[in-house]
Chain A
Amino acid sequence: MKLHRVTALILRHLYLYRRSLPRIMEIFYWPFLDLVIWGFITLYLARYQSEVPGFVTFFLGALILWDVLFRAQQGITITFLEELWARNLMNLFASPLKPSEFLAATMAMSVMKVTFVSIVLAGCALVFYSYNVLIIGVWLIPFVLNLVITGWIIGVLTTSLIMRFGQEAEVLAWSMVFLFQPISCVFYPMEVLPGWLKAIAWANPAAHIFEGMRGVLISGQAPFSNLVWAVGLNSVLLVGVVIWFYRTMAYCKDQGLLVRVGE
């Protein structure tokens, strides 16, 4: 892997954001709007906090952490879509750029987006709702890292599908992640799911993170077991989707789809 090729792609996308207000808004506007709406709902429901202890704390915490996952996925998929919209895939893949370098650049963009969004969301939560996300404590770090990786997994999977099925599948960039939301148990514990869905949720690393977060906030218990599951599942799934990405790229090259994907 050559760093100059990864940084070339990062530079290309930073140039893009430098003069594009809509793209900058896409990073900040929606997360901020989510926070405002859900924040007020949370404040309203907080009147009944005595019935659900720690409700405000884990609801806003869950909202911010869900956005970490969502932005991590978007960072990968939107970066690919930008190349597709610009019909730049031919320029990139006819260069010495390797698929691994392309993925590394999209992951770096994803980390940048997550960082900016997290700072904005955490700051707004503190200012508007006096909610300090650091209340989760040191566990916040492994939680965020694992959610970023889960976001990458969904992002690479979505990117592969768009590469395979073309621009008509681009709606997946925004909708795919929500397929995972019900089984991520973001706002409710896994125990409320029916048995068959609980089994599926168990295979989703994000569900273990949100379970762990609730455990930390409600009872202060160390989420070792949740983290072990999340790390294990993330490792296996990340390797799986990267292999899937390579296979999809090989298929697209064989069928001549890579150069026609933007058409």
Chain B
Amino acid sequence: MDRMSNSVLTVSKLTKRFGSFTAVDEVSFEIRPGEILGLLGPNGAGKTTTIQMLLGVVTPTSGSIEAFGLDLSTHREAVLQQINFSSTYIAMPQSLTVEENLWVVARLYGMSDIASRVDQIVKKLEMEEFRQKVTRKLSSGQMTRLTLAKALLTAPRLLFLDEPTASLDPDIACKIRSILKEERRSSGLSILYTSHNMREMEEMSDRIIFLQRGRLVAEGTAQAIVDRFGKADLEEVFLNLARESNVPSTP
């Protein structure tokens, strides 16, 4: 079987331009079944725009996105039914309770047996004590767990996680990472993972892709990237590339 047919997500020469500014420049990568792919890059590197294009809320200027063998632009509904996302920066409706928010999401994705599915996810993410709480009263850590619960609730085959542990204490963050690994092991879930915590990226990612000024500049395992740049660890590679990003490119 060739690599293309073995991927849950294949991104080819994905480009997004806003006027004369190129946010994402001919980026190509793939995610294999059950793989956790780390997406690294300094602020403004194009990570968020890439994820927004993968979720169909920003239209690419050129290039293609194929998930589960289907083109996102022509099979949006079928593709997004199998994808979900969680971002520290995207909230859930504040006036609904945690449980109400989960019910709405479950209905939106046409889940069956919603009550038991919601119970299951609430238990898994240890949200029992605040399941009846109005979302606006949640702490940032509880909010992060809710957005993660929303993402896992729909049993996706592919998950996009944008800094999922950014506002969590180390204990909860560790539990979240364990849950994600367990989901991957039990259901073959594939994950695109962004984080600014390099140790976490090394721990979680099977492979890493590194974006800089919208271009993919490195791809491989964490160790391979560290070796390629001749640095001590991933954090040094990140700092090196991030500081290069701050130097204006020559025309």
- B93: Cβ under 8 A from any A Cβ: yes
CB distance from A248 to the nearest CB of B (A): 13
Report the separation of the CA atoms of residues A87 and B136 in the bound assembly, to the nearest whole angstrom: 13
Which of B56, B85, B96, B107 is within 8 Å of A4, CB to CB? B107
CB distance from B78 to the nearest CB of A (A): 8
Report the separation of the CA atoms of residues A86 and B103 in the bound assembly, to the nearest whole angstrom: 17
- Chain B 39-58 interface residues, beta-carbon cutoff 8 Å to A: 49, 52, 55-58
Chain B 72-104, CB-CB to A under 8 Å as 1, else 0, gives: 000011101100010000111111110010011
Please state if B107 and A11 are interface contacts (CB–CB under 8 Å): yes
Please state if B107 and A90 are interface contacts (CB–CB under 8 Å): no
Number of interface residues of B (CB under 8 A): 33
Please state if B59 and A95 are interface contacts (CB–CB under 8 Å): no
Please state if A96 and B109 are interface contacts (CB–CB under 8 Å): yes
The B interface, classified by DSSP as helix, strand, loop or mixed, is mixed
Give the interface residue-count category, chain A.
20 to 34
Chain A 76-98, CB-CB to B under 8 Å as 1, else 0, gives: 00000000001110111111111
CB distance from A198 to the nearest CB of B (A): 43
The CB with the most chain A CB atoms within 10 A, among B57, B94, B150, is that of B57
Report the separation of the CA atoms of residues A31 and B119 in the bound assembly, to the nearest whole angstrom: 42
- A168: Cβ under 8 A from any B Cβ: no
- B108: Cβ under 8 A from any A Cβ: yes
Which of A15, A90, A250, A256 is within 8 Å of B49, CB to CB? A256
- A255: Cβ under 8 A from any B Cβ: yes
Chain A 97-133, CB-CB to B under 8 Å as 1, else 0, gives: 1100000000000000000000000000000000000
Which residues of B pack against A, CB within 8 Å?
Answer: 16, 18, 49, 52, 55-59, 76-78, 80-81, 85, 90-97, 100, 103-105, 107-110, 134, 150
Show 22 A/B contacts (Cβ-Cβ < 8 Å), sorted by A: A5-B107, A5-B108, A5-B110, A7-B107, A9-B108, A11-B103, A11-B107, A15-B95, A15-B96, A15-B104, A86-B92, A87-B91, A88-B91, A88-B92, A90-B57, A93-B57, A94-B57, A96-B81, A96-B109, A98-B77, A253-B56, A256-B18
Q: What 7 A-B pairs are tightest by C-beta distance, nearest first?
A: A8-B107, A94-B55, A8-B108, A86-B93, A12-B104, A253-B59, A96-B80
